[in-house]
Structure 1
């Protein structure tokens, strides 16, 4: 390796490590609490109202900080804001482990999800900035890591809590967020040429506005990746760009697709064990295992989906598989809730995990520049998390009103059906800039 190439690869490897550790921290912070709630209750009371607020905090914080993140990123830069986000996650996780009452638990959780809300927005643009020539591979690493960090905490949280206490079980995940700060600090202190970002990919590059600049792994063509267009000084403000995004149907299709995926996740984290216990008569340990099985399906999805989208443009087939599989699993749970078949229904319902990496990779490839990817990521995730914040509460209300789980399960299935057209629109191989220019002229 030449001397000139060494800094470039050092920067890229640090970016890989930073993205991986950041991705791991996003879901582990969510999935590590619910398994040990009963153990926390032995030390101090955790009222149902507080649990309800905690269940709604993740998507609510994600929606709020999704709106704030582009403004902060514009002032601070994407790497500095990533350091701040990971630091907030670290502080919140440690603080939650030292909570002495339900209010402390709630405040620690709020700090965690403020950081997670920012990091959620920043990760797709970070991938686009440092790996525009390897989006498929890096989105695979990113989404697979998130899937891994979703099903591992429910499996280990209780055994660790039994051995070392619930405080250690919850706080130990802060180590990953703290470690994730280090690569970004190193890159800020020792920036690579060009401000620390990866150089533009050489293969297929062009300086013409809107011309493809990258290829997928092994040289296979990927979906459109575009160079920045126009001088930075004349770029529209964030407010104007947000207003433009709100007028593009593709953006709303992406938001609904992402929102449906997030709704399935947070409804499942909040209610799936209770549904399984009440409808199938399984014990709490079995219900926790089945929740982990449901989450585990996201692991192969995270491995396969980004590559299948970027290299083979399989967006619509993947969306169909995820939606139809999830509907089949819910129908099976509704009609045949017998213990012997629960593994099958959870596996089929788990196919909805395809939608999450699918939505994330679409955010990266449906914009031309990293700057627009930040705005698109913010808009899509903020709007999507509003839907995800409403439904865990709505499912609880429907359960209380009907005294059973039939209506709540039907409501979850209805979300999948109603947002199906949005998935088909999101599968169109165009960028949001293309859509704007087709309707309104130059971006």
Structure 2
């Protein structure tokens, strides 16, 4: 069997790595709770704001294009810090990096509640998103650091926490704003990041963190044969990740506006965002296992794309009272994010290859996804309707994602790709 014909499953060791004997059970429990709490914040910064943008825009007077800018900010942060965070981790260590992540997230969320205008709100949202972007990159290495024998289970914990953090803010944001004002509704979520930061300070200062340093000294694997910018597989995976993320953040930004424009209330629209995330969570519980075991990943991605297509068509052309149905289809499509992340995580045989592929794909892919939220709003503002946004921004990205998924349908490894091997196409 050549490297190019190995599937991702064959690449993984058959035996689970033994837990490092120097890491105490109590230290691992604290690390588990700290990982879950930090993961809650990775999408919360976005979904706590999007249901309130209509209310805030009425006070500050910004346009649909500015709403698109708010939707683009997370992707700018993820693109920049997907590439920068590994450098920060090497300089200060992963525990210090996640503490910095939570501190920035808490400060940005708390201070933006006092923003006097649009510019300040944008800047402080960017600060909070910088923290979330750091956490997005640093948590997987921390999982491997403390739980080398439980990677799948802890990755599922992280995924569930991310979804829970995305699900609840839209559900309560508008009712809380109606009761206490949008500033309280927006700033109160800083407490979640503050608690996570305190947990990581405790973990960072514990003997377990120092013992994890010694336990993490395993071989990282040889350097890749070529830099990733010269490897076609890396670019295709980045394009697929980017086009999937394009739609995720387009919907986080614009689904509330699409539903209120169709005659629903802001509170109802926020509930639909939570419904979309909840459906994505349900699919996401099984998606990693199915994706990792698949000899051909194209049918899985194609099903997700079909969910997106039906959901978008329903919002654009279907009866407004069936919005929950269309939202469920969109949630099925949004679960593609978990599918693509699983594809990234399983297509490497070494820690060095995994880190390189993940950083490249998330950094470049987030850069590609920048156009989604911004163009969706820009086209609507220029044409006075949503049709061009649905057709060109959503439809075009789905066509591109389908093509990339077909080209990368056969699991293989980044090490093999960098060495110039080719997969056996199914």
**In which range does the TM-score fall when normalised by the shorter chain?**
0.7 to 0.9
Distance 1:176 1:313, change over 3 A: farther
In 1, are the aligned partners of 2:246 and 2:368 still within 8 Å (CA)?
yes
Unaligned runs of 5+ in 2: 1-19
Q: CA deviation at 1:425?
A: 4.4
2:273 is the alignment partner of 1:291: yes
* Higher mean displacement: 181-190 or 380-389: 181-190
Q: For 2:51 and 2:335, locate their aligned partners in 1 and report how far apart those are by CA, in whole Å.
A: 24
**CA 182–376 in structure 1, closer or farther in 2 if over 3 Å, else same:** farther
- Name 2:13's counterpart in structure 1: none
State the superposition RMSD in angstroms: 2.8
Q: What is aligned with 1:264?
A: 247
Pairing 1:229–2:245 present = no
Q: Does 1:29 align with 2:39?
A: no
Gaps in structure 1 of 5+ consecutive residues: 201-206, 208-226
Partner of 1:218: none
Counterpart-to-counterpart distance in 1, 2:209 and 2:330: 47
Deviation (angstroms), 1:291: 2.7
CA distance in 2 between partners of 1:59 and 1:84 (Å): 19
CA 1:414–1:193 in 2, change beyond 3 Å: closer, same or farther?
A: closer
Q: Which moves more between the two structures, 23-32 or 378-387? A: 378-387
Partner residue of 2:12?
none
* Shift in CA distance, 381/196, structure 1 to aligned 2, threshold 3 Å: same
Quote the residue 2:228 is aligned against.
245
1:380 matched residue in structure 2: 361
1:71 and 1:270 map into 2 onto residues whose CA distance is: 30
Q: Does 1:83 align with 2:99?
A: yes
Flag the structure with more relative contact order, 1 or 2, with Cα contacts below 8 A and sequence separation at least 6: 2
Matched residue, 1:340: 321
| Alpha-carbon distance between aligned partners in 2 of 1:164 and 1:294, rounded to the nearest angstrom | 26
> Superposed, which structure 2 residues align to 1:49-68 within 5 Å?
50-68=66-84
| Comparing 86-95 and 405-414, the one that deviates more | 405-414
Match of 2:389 in 1: 408
Question: Which residue does 1:422 correspond to in 2?
Answer: 404
- Determine whether 1:110 maps to 2:126: yes
Normalised by the length of structure 1, the TM-score is 0.81
User: Which residue is 1:353 aligned to?
Assistant: 334
CA contact (8 A) 1:160 1:166 kept: yes
Give me the whole-angstrom Cα distance separating, in 1, the residues matched to 2:371 and 2:237: 18
Q: Measure, in 2, the Cα distance between the counterparts of 1:427 and 1:122.
A: 28
User: Per the alignment, in what secondary structure is the counterpart of residue 98 of structure 1?
Assistant: coil
CA distance in 2, matches of 1:364, 1:150: 22
Aligned residue runs from structure 1 range 297-316, under 5 A: 297-310=279-292, 315-316=297-298
Aligned to 1:274: 257
Aligned partner of 2:15 in structure 1 is none
Contact 1:73 1:81 in 2 (8 A): yes
SS in 1 for 2:309: helix
Does structure 1 residue 138 correspond to structure 2 residue 154? yes
Distance 2:234 2:144 in 1: 18
> For 2:60, which of 40, 45, 49 is the aligned residue?
45
Query: How far off is 1:322 after superposition?
Result: 0.9
Higher mean C-alpha displacement, 83-92 vs 400-409: 400-409
TM-score (norm 2): 0.84
Aligned length: 400
Query: Using a 3 Å threshold, how does the CA distance of structure 1 residues 46 and 314 change in structure 2: closer, same or farther?
Result: farther
In 2 relative to 1, CA 166–332 (structure 1 residues): closer, same or farther, beyond 3 Å? closer
Give yes or no for contact 2:243–2:400 (8 Å, CA) kept in 1: no
